[in-house]
Structure 1
């Protein structure tokens, strides 16, 4: 069953419990929340814990505590992807019935031996080895979604026009992995549709994957949300601050200072004195002064690891 939004705008923040929240996460949470509130909309929270091997025990609860300490208030109950497996299977069944999903027996080494091109995300472009069916008795490893070479694009509110030819730049992509786990692309598209998400504000590191999500929305006859991809925070080496690049966790006791730092990163002229104010005062200022128009229209901005 799909949710029909009772408000004209419904946004969301969807962290993965692979570690504590860091500055990059705070930027995405703050921008998505403030944009939703400024538009009179709802802001939902989803824990994307579908990739179980990467989850860290206790991380989901730690994320919720940090968001609470930073003054965030979300609408409704937190949605956990781990409770949504039947919905993902139903979407796969629909795609199978439409002839859009096919079994793949290729291992990574098989693809490496046959691929002749690189995909837009830097990986190998799947050569379509299993597109026409598997030989009898061959073990199915994954399930892939068929794509075509029709130009597929959208206008991002921050990054401008984005267009891809999926067949040439991505290839048929996996929706259920060899380990049985549903792929991120499938889970995020199904959940956004189910929750009635109208507007997605997230980091520009996900910009290149958006056309795949548009294609999947089209295949499942889902509505297309509006997208805005924020500049990502990078270290001096140009790497995105993340758990993999050892981004330090947010410190609850410095919540006001971190919020002010995130606001300034987003082009909002937050007064310096707010860094030592109460968290509620920072939010009062942000809700009154939020301006989407002043967010930098760039894919990345270099920032120090922590606030001064």
Structure 2
């Protein structure tokens, strides 16, 4: 175990948090605090049009209301600033230069939308494996296309299977060439892509433990490849179960599933919400009002469920004070 565990919560402020986001923040906080570690708050606002600063400020107020404090990051700042990804373009540019010197970056002029490249990919999202067509362009073709199109940048991947052991989900393997394909590291509009940004930031912030949703499990092989190329040491990964709506959908900000704004209107404090989530994920035998601090003495990862969790129908039909 490292001398100091450094966990993190890295939300995208594209909308108000829902209970799935809260559960992720809670488990990340409990894991780090139970080991005497520190918590970093990183704001993943790579796309500033989707993530205005006001949303990030509101997110901080919501975390404080939940009782989930942090040691550095966000508006608090700290030794590893900047903590807003929108302010890190020069840092990502330096990492890109390292990859370019290895001859692994090439321009991509494909016309399909790349607007979501700066967003974390999810297992339930359809993903087209890129066939590498722009890797085969000649220098003359690149020069001609560049006159009318600003290219995105892709990273060449080898025909290699990368395996790792996730502390929650167990063993996982993925062949980069066959199951992923060359992936974007910078969009055509100059915004750096999620995969590169998250690796660079976790490394420079000294993050040793990443707790996040199971829908991001398939991102790890790509990130481990980047860790190797950039000479960084990867963290320990824990991919937690997803919270699903009663119809089986993943909770999402886009659908405003039980967003924290509406929940806060019904609650004088966060204890009922924390207790309901702790029960759903396996930390409490029965739902009861509780604070994150009160969960610490009994927290252990062996108690946390591994499979996805459907929230009860009553969460959509009754106020949160009646969830217990």
TM-score when scaled to structure 2? 0.84
Where 1:53 maps in the other structure, the secondary structure is: coil
Where 1:54 maps in the other structure, the secondary structure is: coil
Instruction: Give yes or no for contact 1:103–1:133 (8 Å, CA) kept in 2.
Output: no
Instruction: Give yes or no for contact 2:214–2:239 (8 Å, CA) kept in 1.
Output: yes
Confirm or deny that 1:127 pairs with 2:120: no
Residues in 2 aligned to 1:67 and 1:292: alpha-carbon distance in whole angstroms? 22
Equivalent in 283, 288, 300 of residue 297 of structure 2 = 288
Q: How does 1:7-18 map to 2 (within 5 A)?
A: 7-18=3-14
Alpha-carbon offset, residue 94 of structure 1: 0.8
Instruction: Give yes or no for contact 1:103–1:142 (8 Å, CA) kept in 2.
Output: yes
Unaligned runs of 5+ in 1: 110-118, 276-280
Q: Which residue does the alignment assign to 1:169? A: 179
TM-score when scaled to structure 1? 0.88
Instruction: Give yes or no for contact 2:270–2:291 (8 Å, CA) kept in 1.
Output: no
Q: Which residue does the alignment assign to 2:241? A: 231
Q: Which residue does the alignment assign to 1:147? A: 157
Confirm or deny that 1:105 pairs with 2:109: yes
Structure 1 residues 120 and 142, CA, compared in 2 at 3 Å: closer, same or farther? farther
Residues in 1 aligned to 2:2 and 2:269: alpha-carbon distance in whole angstroms? 36
Alpha-carbon offset, residue 121 of structure 1: 5.3
Q: How does 1:185-200 map to 2 (within 5 A)?
A: 185-200=195-210
Confirm or deny that 1:245 pairs with 2:262: no
Where 1:92 maps in the other structure, the secondary structure is: helix
Q: Deviations over 1:53-84 (max 9, x none)?
A: 32245211110001001111101232111111
Alpha-carbon offset, residue 6 of structure 1: 8.6
Where 1:17 maps in the other structure, the secondary structure is: coil
Alpha-carbon offset, residue 266 of structure 1: 2.1
Q: Deviations over 1:82-130 (max 9, x none)?
A: 1111100101111001111111111118xxxxxxxxx995222111111
Equivalent in 223, 226, 231 of residue 216 of structure 1 = 226
Q: Deviations over 1:236-269 (max 9, x none)?
A: 2211111123212223434111111121122111
Residues in 2 aligned to 1:284 and 1:230: alpha-carbon distance in whole angstroms? 20
Q: Deviations over 1:124-161 (max 9, x none)?
A: 21111111344132124100011012110111111111
Unaligned runs of 5+ in 2: 75-82, 114-122
Q: Which residue does the alignment assign to 1:113? A: none
Where 1:49 maps in the other structure, the secondary structure is: coil
Instruction: Give yes or no for contact 1:267–1:295 (8 Å, CA) kept in 2.
Output: yes
Residues in 2 aligned to 1:51 and 1:206: alpha-carbon distance in whole angstroms? 19
Equivalent in 68, 73, 78 of residue 69 of structure 2 = 73
Equivalent in 83, 88, 102 of residue 84 of structure 1 = 88
Q: Deviations over 1:28-53 (max 9, x none)?
A: 00000100011111111111001223
Q: Which residue does the alignment assign to 2:167? A: 157
